[in-house]
Amino acid sequence: MAISIVLPDGKPLSLPDGATPLDAATAISPRLAEAVVVAKVDGKVQDLRVPLTDGAKLELFKPDSGPGRDTINHSAEHLLATAVLKLYPGAKVTMGPQTHDEEFYYDFDVAGRTLGPADLERIEQEIKKLIDAKVAFQRKQVSKPDALRFFDELGQNNEYKQEILSWIPEDDVSIYQCEGFVDLCRGPHLPHAGFIKALKLTGTSGVYWRADASKQSLQRVRGVAFPKKEELDFYNKRQEEAKKRDHRKLGKELELFIVSERYDDHDYREEQGLDLYVGVKADSPLDRKLVDFALSTTEASFPGVSIRQTVNFEKLPAATEDDKSPRPQLDVRLRGAATKEARKAFEQKLTDQKDAEVSLNFEPHYTEELGPGLVMWLPKGGRLRSIIEDQWRKMHFEAGYELVYSPHIAKADLWKVSGHWDFYREGMFSPMSVDGHDYCCKPMNCPFHILMVKSRIRSYREFPMRLAELGTVYRYELPGVMHGLMRVRGFTQDDAHLFCRPDQVAQEIDTVLKFILKMLRTFGFEQFEVNLSTRPAQYVGSLEEWGLAEQNLRDVLVRQGIEFSIDEGGGAFYGPKIDIKLVDALQRRWQCSTLQYDFNNPERFTMEYVNSEGAKERPIMLHRALLGSIERFIGVLIEHYAGALPAWLMPEQVRVVTVSDKHNDHARAVTQALMQKGVRVSFTPSSDKLGGKIRNAQIEKIPYVLVVGDREVEQNGASLRLRDGTDKGFLALAELTQTLVDGCSVPVVT
């Protein structure tokens, strides 16, 4: 029996039943079969060795393609595990990342060993031996019991494998073997390791199993792999340049912001009382019994002391497949002043109980610490942020948006209606109790904007409604993933939600997409990578709605002549989206802009308006972000420009310096003339040498330096120098003023 598949040019190809993408490549050309590494079948990435079905649409990819590069990193990850198991007997392989577009890694349990630079060199050399040997990646589809038996045979059955296996709902699983290593894996993988032409292990870090600090600590080993050797050379050069451009380093040097700086420690005083946290993982009624025990023990151990209590209940995890029920847990944390004797007696009483495992932590002092992932903007950074936000507001008003403001907290009920409580709970900060109700710091702005639209009955004539907000949100990010301004716990989204009638959607999407690109180009970005993400396996809304929405997004991209890729199944459960990644000076991709349908919230909030027939109808809702978050975008800007931002963005655009104090009056006059024209200019009298003043301005990356001496006073002007050292010579005040006004103006982008 034969099957017929469809090639990218639309031509059919007949193959025997059970044929794979690799068989198809061989049928087209044996040389092609030797060159391809992965396939897409009906838009989804697939291993070359998985059988095709009749009517499938097939694309084949070589190593230097996007899917090919992902596959190279993924297979390099398995080579990493193979090498570690060989070099460190007894090591346990846990998990790697879900995507491999930028790098690969595996988290290892190496029995308390800390892997250092010397270990990385050994591992890397072992991986290169595997590459030179062109070891094969073998795929098998097996039942779960067979998978466990296979792990047993290779001595790789462990608690991590068993837990991962329990997450998989299907009866059968796919496994990949590479030399002596085997793992649960959906693939795809290379036919053999010889396609990897360059590889580098980039570092190690400590992590926790499932990102839970109460679980086993692990070692994460990271790396990158490439289809061409010269790409590794380029990568190394880019990394060196990235270190120079690191926004954390430049932000400190330029005095723009502070993130999680630690200051002095302070001892608690007795009159401040005690802060008590009690966390319990147990079933009822033991959970309440343990809490009552902890509270009464604290009160008895510290009589007469004011105790502020926080209690957290969690369910006990289900028993594992080997019928081992986890022990109940009692987590007690005490902050405040207490004598050693009182603390020791308290600890003894707690540990005497036998109903649960007890963990106890005392904190006798506190610190002047903001907290991880929270940003403080210094004066120069505050000015930079204001410049960006002012331009953002100006462009939004010009584009027909209305700016709104919403509170930073809301009752938990709101997040239950929106669905965030159920789907995003782990990303939210713990609720606070106020007047008997739970309140949460907002992780999103959208529910507030919906309530604004719902504040009264709306007519169809009022649409489209474009509500925009620079809204600060708070999301719990794990400690190991926070990074300067790029990944924080409190950030300001440049958020907007558009509510429109069905007949307005296509035009609105067209307008928004042009607005996104105009905004990014205003800040100097010209290269973009665009993806259209389509319906995932789990979704809300009808197939008809999804089909129409995806077609609208696709049509707009085609109409505007924008090249894009399809991310099959990459949409959110509530709607398809367009993602725009900007490309920076180092050719790195940064996800900033998004345009997304939402079939979920209008339904959950029962949004309605009165249509032209007098009947009630549900509006269509679009989420939209241009810069993403202000914090992250500023981090990207700093690294893109290496701190030397365009003059219109710089907090200080011009600095006036004098040859000697006798020129100060003229310097003040020049400064005043420029300030009246809206130029951000400074002059601070100083007895430092002229060369030092100019050098300091260059270090601070001031775009323009004006030098004032005898000639400049006599001829009423100043000598102009650029931050790259170029000397433009003397300019009379009128010409100088116009030159600087033009040089500091916001670029006009059509």
Judged against a pLDDT cut of 80, whether residue 55 lies above it is answered with yes
Residue type at 437?
Answer: H
Q: What is the mean pLDDT of the chain?
A: 92
Fold of 375-406+445-640: BirA Bifunctional Protein; domain 2 (3.30.930)
> Mean pLDDT across the stretch 517-523?
97
Q: Is the dihedral of CA 263, 265, 269, 275 positive or negative?
A: positive
Judged against a pLDDT cut of 90, whether residue 499 lies above it is answered with yes
> Mean pLDDT across the stretch 396-412?
96
CB-CB contact of 226 with 235 (8 Å): yes
Judged against a pLDDT cut of 70, whether residue 321 lies above it is answered with no
Q: How many CB atoms lie within 10 A of CB 700?
A: 17
Fold of 654-743: Rossmann fold (3.40.50)
> Mean pLDDT across the stretch 580-601?
94
Class for the domain spanning 66-238: alpha beta
Show the tokens assigned to 551.
């077609």
> Mean pLDDT across the stretch 455-479?
94
* 538 vs 673: which has the higher pLDDT: 673
Domain residue limits, the chain: 2-57, 66-238, 266-369, 375-406+445-640, 408-442, 654-743
* 318 vs 274: which has the higher pLDDT: 274
The pLDDT of residue 477: 86
pLDDT category at 322 given cuts 50, 70, 90 is low
The pLDDT of residue 712: 96
Strand order in the sheet with 609-610: 458-459, 609-610, 616-617
Q: How far apart are alpha carbons 512 and 617 in whole angstroms?
A: 23
pLDDT category at 257 given cuts 50, 70, 90 is very high
pLDDT digits over 122-133, tens only? 999 999 999 999
Show the tokens assigned to 546.
């999804």
Q: Is the dihedral of CA 197, 203, 208, 211 positive or negative?
A: negative
Phi/psi-derived region of residue 109, left when phi > 0, alpha when psi is between -120 and 50, beta in every other case: beta
Distances (CA, A) of 640 to 253, 481, 637: 16, 21, 5
Domain 2-57 and domain 266-369, same fold? Reply is no
Least confident of 73-77, 400-404, 424-428, 505-509: 424-428
Show the tokens assigned to 392.
């953002």
The pLDDT of residue 538: 83
Determine the CATH number of domain 266-369. 3.30.429.10
> Mean pLDDT across the stretch 193-198?
96
pLDDT digits over 85-125, tens only? 999 999 999 999 888 888 999 999 987 678 889 999 999 99
pLDDT digits over 627-652, tens only? 999 999 999 999 999 999 999 999 99
Determine the CATH number of domain 2-57. 3.10.20.30
pLDDT digits over 694-740, tens only? 999 999 999 999 999 999 999 999 999 999 999 999 999 999 999 99
Least confident of 60-69, 166-175, 438-447: 166-175
Q: How far apart are alpha carbons 662 and 667 in whole angstroms?
A: 10
pLDDT category at 31 given cuts 50, 70, 90 is very high
pLDDT category at 284 given cuts 50, 70, 90 is confident
The pLDDT of residue 273: 87
Show the tokens assigned to 233.
């050379």
Show the tokens assigned to 361.
């932590």
pLDDT category at 364 given cuts 50, 70, 90 is confident
> Mean pLDDT across the stretch 14-40?
94
Burial of 260 (0-12, 13-18, 19+ CB in 10 A): middle
The pLDDT of residue 640: 97
pLDDT category at 482 given cuts 50, 70, 90 is confident
User: CA nearest 405: which of 491, 472, 498, 488?
Assistant: 472
DSSP state of 336: E
The pLDDT of residue 534: 93
Residue type at 326?
Answer: P
Judged against a pLDDT cut of 70, whether residue 261 lies above it is answered with no
